[in-house]
Chains A and B, each alone.
Chain A
Amino acid sequence: DVKVTQSSRYLVKRTGEKVFLECVQDMDHENMFWYRQDPGLGLRLIYFSYDVKMKEKGDIPEGYSVSREKKERFSLILESASTNQTSMYLCASNPDRVETQYFGPGTRLLVL
């Protein structure tokens, strides 16, 4: 079974803190994605990566950066957390051009 894990299920941070969300997949997938999910807005793509050290901006990259130093790990970084970044963050991965994405369990981030 494909497994995508995220470092935390719940996270509480203060405004201005630097926040790291980690995602690891164990199936040697080329592609990895970070989404945020907000009620009424669905899933919106923040960044994706199709190879180590490669990244592409999604629809809402502002305020975020990413890092992919190893194929299995894709990190999302909030350089200076703000309250409007309170959200559910979902990581996903898939092999190149294969039908579906596999999702992690999600991280619910609260920024106070």
Chain B
Amino acid sequence: AQKITQTQPGMFVQEKEAVTLDCTYDTSDQSYGLFWYKQPSSGEMIFLIYQGSYDEQNATEGRYSLNFQKARKSANLVISASQLGDSAMYFCAMRDISGNQFYFGTGTSLTVIP
């Protein structure tokens, strides 16, 4: 069964606007971790932000924030004040209770329009 679902294959956003990338997850574990990665066209995966399942506050890292809604099993990424350099693929991922297995979504391609 798919553990991570990203329903937006592609998204467009105007420069300087905010954008939300959706991610829902499926697990029966109580302890897990949620991640977002950025993959530019060069191919490397860049870690953006992490949310632990027991963290009560939403994670933030600069212009990135993670909107964590545990009851709805969603972990949406919000990028504020989009920049042209934000154009990339974005992957949501979950680490399971063992800490050793990671599950990735299919990704969302974000294009920032000048």
Distance (whole angstroms) from the CB of B18 to the closest CB of chain A: 24
Distance (whole angstroms) from the CB of A100 to the closest CB of chain B: 5
Distance (whole angstroms) from the CB of B52 to the closest CB of chain A: 8
Contact flag A103-B99 (CB < 8 Å), given A41-B106, A42-B106: no
Residues 83-98 of B at the A interface (beta carbon under 8 Å): 91, 93, 95
B45 engages A99 (CB within 8 Å): no
B43 engages A108 (CB within 8 Å): yes
B101 engages A45 (CB within 8 Å): yes
When distances are taken between beta carbons in the complex, the residues of chain B under 8 Å from A98 are: 99
When distances are taken between beta carbons in the complex, the residues of chain A under 8 Å from B91 are: 42-43
B102 engages A45 (CB within 8 Å): yes
Per-residue CB proximity of A29-44 to B under 8 Å, as 1/0? 0010101000011111
Per-residue CB proximity of B1-35 to A under 8 Å, as 1/0? 00010100100000000000000000000000101
A45 to B107, CA, bound (A): 15
Distance (whole angstroms) from the CB of A59 to the closest CB of chain B: 9
- A88 at interface (Cβ–Cβ under 8 A)? yes
Residue in chain B with minimal CB distance to A88: B43
- A50 at interface (Cβ–Cβ under 8 A)? yes
Residues 40-88 of A at the B interface (beta carbon under 8 Å): 40-45, 48, 50, 88
* Other-chain contact of B45, A44, A90, A97 (Cβ < 8 Å): A90
Contact flag A99-B100 (CB < 8 Å), given A105-B44, A106-B44: no
* Interface contacts beyond A42-B4, A44-B104, A103-B45: sample of 13 additional A-B pairs, CB < 8 Å, sorted by A: A31-B100, A40-B9, A40-B106, A43-B91, A43-B93, A50-B100, A97-B100, A98-B99, A99-B50, A100-B50, A102-B47, A103-B44, A105-B43
Which B residues are within 8 Å of any A CB, using their own CB? 4, 6, 9, 33, 35, 37, 42-45, 47, 50, 52, 91, 93, 95, 99-102, 104-107
18 A-B residue pairs with Cβ-Cβ distance under 8 Å, sorted by A, are A35-B104, A40-B106, A42-B105, A42-B107, A43-B91, A43-B93, A44-B104, A48-B100, A92-B102, A98-B99, A99-B33, A99-B95, A100-B47, A100-B50, A101-B102, A103-B44, A105-B43, A108-B43
